[in-house]
Amino acid sequence: MYKIMLADDEGIVIDSLKFIIEKNFGDKCSIEYAHTGRSVIELAEKFKPDIAIMDIHMPGINGIEAMKEIRKTNKSVIFIIMTAYDKFNYAKEAINLGVLEYLTKPVNQAVITGVLQKAMDIIEAERKKRSNDLMIREKLEIVIPIIESDFIYSALSGSDFERVKDDFCNLLGIKDEYGMILIMELGDAIIEGHLTNPVGISVKAQSFYHAIRESLKGEFNCIVGPLMVNKIIVFIPSDKSQLEYDDRIKIIEKARNLVRELTKKIDIQIKIGIGSVTPINRLEDSYKEALSAIRNSKGRVAHVKDLPIGCEYEEDYPVHIENALFEKIEKGDIEGTQAEANSFFDWMVSNYPEHVMDIKLKVLEFVLFAEQKAFLSGGMKYYFLYRKDYLPTLIQIENFEQLRKWFIDKVTQACRNIVTKRQEQTRGLISKAKAYIEENYNKDISLDEVSRNVDISPYYFSKLFKEETGVNFIDYLTNIRIEKAKRLLLYTDMNIKNICLDIGYSDPNYFSRIFKKQVGLTPTEFRETDKANKN
Output the pLDDT for position 120.
Answer: 93
Output the pLDDT for position 133.
Answer: 76
The rounded distance, in Å, linking the Cα atoms of 426 and 421 is 8
Whether the upstream peptide bond of residue 508 has omega within 30° of 0, thus cis, is: no
Q: What is the crossing angle of helices 508-519 and 473-491, to 10°?
A: 100
Report the phi/psi class of residue 201: left, alpha or beta, with left for phi > 0 and alpha for psi in -120 to 50. Answer: alpha
The rounded distance, in Å, linking the Cα atoms of 43 and 82 is 19
CB atoms within 10 A of CB 186: 25
499-511 burial, b for 16+ CB within 10 Å, e for fewer?
Answer: bbeebbbeebeeb
Q: What does residue 352 show for φ and ψ, rounded to 5 degrees? A: -135, 55
Tell me the CB-side half-sphere exposure of residue 315, using CA atoms within 13 A. 0
Amino acid at 225: G
CA 357 to chain centre: 48
pLDDT in tens, the chain (535 residues): 899 999 998 999 999 999 999 999 988 999 999 999 999 999 999 999 999 998 888 888 888 889 899 988 898 999 998 888 766 666 667 777 778 888 888 888 999 999 999 999 999 999 888 888 777 666 666 788 888 888 888 888 765 677 788 888 888 888 999 999 999 999 888 887 788 888 888 888 888 888 898 999 999 999 999 888 889 999 999 998 888 888 888 999 999 999 999 988 888 899 999 999 999 888 888 999 999 888 887 788 989 887 765 566 777 888 888 888 888 888 888 999 999 999 999 999 999 999 999 999 999 999 998 888 888 877 677 788 888 999 999 999 989 999 999 999 999 998 888 888 877 777 888 888 889 988 998 888 888 888 888 887 777 788 888 888 888 889 999 999 999 999 998 888 889 899 999 998 888 899 899 999 988 988 888 888 877 776 6
248-295: per-residue pLDDT in tens?
889 999 999 999 999 888 888 999 999 999 998 888 889 999 998 888
247-258 burial, b for 16+ CB within 10 Å, e for fewer?
Answer: ebeebbebbeeb
The rounded distance, in Å, linking the Cα atoms of 65 and 190 is 65
Output the pLDDT for position 87.
Answer: 65
**DSSP conformation class of 270:** E
Neighbour order of strands in the sheet with 29-34: 29-34, 2-7, 51-54, 78-83, 101-104
Output the pLDDT for position 139.
Answer: 65
CB atoms within 10 A of CB 7: 31
Classify strands 269-274 and 178-187 as parallel, antiparallel or unpaired: antiparallel
Q: What does residue 191 show for φ and ψ, rounded to 5 degrees? A: -125, 120
400-457: per-residue pLDDT in tens?
999 999 999 999 998 888 888 877 777 888 888 889 988 998 888 888 888 888 887 7
375-414 burial, b for 16+ CB within 10 Å, e for fewer?
Answer: bebebbeeeeeeeeeeeeebeebeebeebbebbbebbbbb
CA torsion angle 45 49 51 56 (round to 10): -30
Output the pLDDT for position 535.
Answer: 60
The rounded distance, in Å, linking the Cα atoms of 119 and 80 is 9
The rounded distance, in Å, linking the Cα atoms of 462 and 387 is 39
**DSSP conformation class of 282:** G
Output the pLDDT for position 310.
Answer: 57
How far is CA 241 from each of CA 64, 176, 318, 319, 475, rounded to the nearest angstrom?
56, 10, 13, 12, 44
Output the pLDDT for position 245.
Answer: 82
Is 519 within 8 Å of 482 (Cβ atoms)?
Answer: yes
3-state class of 301 per DSSP? strand
Classify strands 178-187 and 278-279 as parallel, antiparallel or unpaired: antiparallel
Output the pLDDT for position 100.
Answer: 87
